[in-house]
């Protein structure tokens, strides 16, 4: 990564630690929810990083968050979370660049969530040797869940970004 | 709040997912076979018709599985978060209980399952 100014570095570090905490909290809180599904609150922070500093920052925040939160989990959990974080943040960055303003932060969030879930399904395919029909049976459910979760995190990110940006206009 | 492309994206994804879901449900038919994999290797293939209790050994230890009334569940598992136990009973084709920490996958085969062929040739 090119040299960056101190303010950017500090802000990115803050975002990474925020995302890590959110990720760990979300894993451990006994919130009633369907078993496999999570809202993916850390994605809010990835979106904020994307809006503030672009694709590279978003990918950095997502990957560092996955690695740091992975310390508090198990290795198989990391095998699921890291590739998904990498793929979804990259996808959101690319879509953000390609679509210009046509996709809002909510559209980006949903795309990211879908890529995230499908990446995890792909990992499961290889890691757990699921067969093709199981994958085909699971994929639509995961896409549906991702649309819902992506919408909610996108909405949160939208408000967060708006308030952050207005507070940054020193 | 949502742009036009957001709506295209959402509607497209929902339509695609629901269509796939419909196709899967339509083709799944009934299930009568449960397949248990540990670390990707098939270790047990059992009929749902006969009630029984058995266990498989994974890297963390013993996962206890029960078949009753044409359904199957994990009774006990050495993993930390017990997602597999909390999944509860499954009884429909393609449903799964997955225990990532103990590398255990319990799958109900569907009638067009690509593992179904093995059952015939065995």
Q: Report pLDDT digits (tens) over B51-73.
A: 999 999 999 999 999 999 999 99
Nearest CA in chain A to B21: A140
Tell me the fold of B33-109.
mini-chromosome maintenance (MCM) complex, domain 2 (2.60.320)
Q: Which of A14-18, A116-120, B29-33 is the least confident region?
A: B29-33
Q: Are the C-beta atoms of residues B112 and B96 closer than 8 Å to each other? A: no
Taking the alpha carbons of A15, A19, A20, A25 in that order, is the dihedral positive or negative?
positive
What pTM was estimated for this model as a whole? 0.83
Please name every residue paired with B37 in a beta bridge, in sequence order, or none if there are none: B42, B105
For position B122, what pLDDT does the model report?
A: 37
Structural domain containing residue A61: 2-168
Q: In the predicted model, what is the mean pLDDT of residues B9-31? A: 88
Which domain CATH number covers A153? 1.10.1760.20
Encoded tokens for A94: 């690319």
Site of tokens 């639509």: A140
- The answer for residues whose C-beta is within 8 angstroms of residue A73's C-beta and 6 or more apart is A27, A81
Question: Is residue B32 scored above 70 in pLDDT?
Answer: yes
Interface test with A, best of B4, B9, B11 (most A CBs within 10 A): B9
**Which residues in chain B (59-118) have CB-CB distances under 8 A to chain A?**
80, 83, 86-87, 93-94, 96, 98, 100-101, 103, 105, 107, 110, 112-115
Most B-contacting residue of A109, A140, A144 (CB-CB within 10 A), to test interface: A140
pLDDT at A148 over 70: yes
Of B10, B20, B113, the CB nearest to A147: B10
The size of chain A, in residues, is 170
Chain B positions touching A143 (Cβ under 8 A) are: 13, 16-17, 20
Q: How far is CA A103 from the centre of its chain?
A: 17
Tally of domains within chain A: 1
- Please determine, for residue A3, whether its predicted confidence score (pLDDT) is greater than 70: no
Q: Range with the lowest mean pLDDT among A32-36, A120-124, B52-56?
A: A32-36
DSSP result, A74-107: -HHHHHHHHHHHHHHHHHHHHHHHHHTTSS-HHH
Would you call B114 and A133 a contact, using CB atoms and an 8 Å cutoff? yes
Distance separating alpha carbons of residues B33 and B99, to the nearest angstrom: 19
What pLDDT, in 10s, does the model give residues B81-118? 888 898 889 988 888 898 988 999 999 887 766 554 44
Whether A34 has a pLDDT exceeding 70, the answer reads no
**pLDDT digit string (tens) for A46-90?**
999 999 999 999 999 999 999 999 888 777 788 999 999 999 999
**Which of A77, A130, A136 faces B24 most closely, judged by CB atoms?**
A136
For position A169, what pLDDT does the model report? 61
Higher pLDDT, A1 or A25: A25
Chains A, B: CB contacts within 8 A come to 103
Strand pairing report for B33-38 and B41-47: antiparallel
| Residue A115 CB neighbour total at 10 angstroms | 21
- Give the gap in angstroms from C-alpha B75 to the nearest C-alpha of chain A: 16
Q: Say which residue, A92 or B87, is predicted with more confidence.
A: A92
Q: At residue B32, what are phi and psi to the nearest 5 degrees? A: -135, 5
Average pLDDT over residues A165-169: 73
Q: Which residues of A touch B (CB under 8 A)?
A: 35-36, 74, 76-77, 80, 99, 101-104, 106-107, 110-111, 114, 124, 127-134, 136-141, 143-144, 146-147, 151, 158
Percentage helix, strand, coil for chain A under 3-state DSSP, each rounded to 5: 80, 0, 20
* Interface contact flag, A140 B83, Cβ < 8 Å: no
ipTM for the predicted complex comes to: 0.86
Q: What is the H or E stretch that residue A142 is in?
A: helix A132-168
Of A35, A114, A158, the CB nearest to B87: A35
Neighboring chain A residues of B93 at a CB cutoff of 8 Å: 137
By the 10 Å C-beta count (0-12 exposed, 13-18 middle, 19+ buried), B63 is classed as: buried
């Amino acid at each position: 990564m090119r040299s960056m100014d101190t303010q950017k570095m500090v802000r990115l570090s803050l975002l990474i630690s925020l995302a890590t905490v959110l990720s760990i909290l979300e894993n451990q809180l006994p919130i009633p929810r369907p078993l496999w599904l999570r809202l993916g609150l850390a994605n809010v922070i990835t979106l904020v990083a994307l809006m503030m500093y672009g694709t590279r920052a978003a990918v950095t925040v997502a990957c560092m968050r996955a690695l740091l939160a992975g310390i508090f989990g198990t290795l198989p959990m990391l095998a699921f979370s890291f590739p998904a974080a990498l793929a979804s943040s990259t996808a959101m960055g690319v879509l953000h660049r390609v679509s210009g303003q046509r996709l809002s932060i909510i559209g980006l969030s949903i795309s990211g969530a879908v890529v995230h879930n499908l990446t995890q399904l792909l990992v499961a395919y290889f890691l757990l040797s699921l067969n093709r029909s199981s994958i085909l049976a699971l994929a639509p459910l995961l896409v549906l869940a991702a649309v819902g979760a992506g919408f909610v995190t996108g909405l949160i990110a939208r408000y967060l970004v708006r308030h952050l940006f207005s507070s940054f206009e020193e | 709040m949502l742009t036009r492309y957001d709506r295209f994206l959402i509607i497209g994804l929902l339509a695609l997912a629901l269509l796939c879901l419909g196709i899967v449900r339509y083709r799944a038919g009934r299930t009568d076979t449960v397949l248990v994999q540990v670390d990707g290797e098939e270790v047990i293939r059992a009929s749902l018709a006969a009630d029984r209790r058995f266990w498989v050994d994974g890297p963390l230890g013993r996962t206890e599985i029960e078949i009753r009334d044409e359904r199957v569940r994990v009774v006990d598992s050495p993993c930390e978060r017990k997602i597999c136990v909390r999944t509860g009973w499954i009884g429909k084709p393609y449903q799964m209980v997955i225990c990532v920490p103990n590398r255990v996958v319990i799958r109900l085969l569907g009638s067009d399952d690509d593992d179904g062929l093995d059952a015939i040739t065995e």
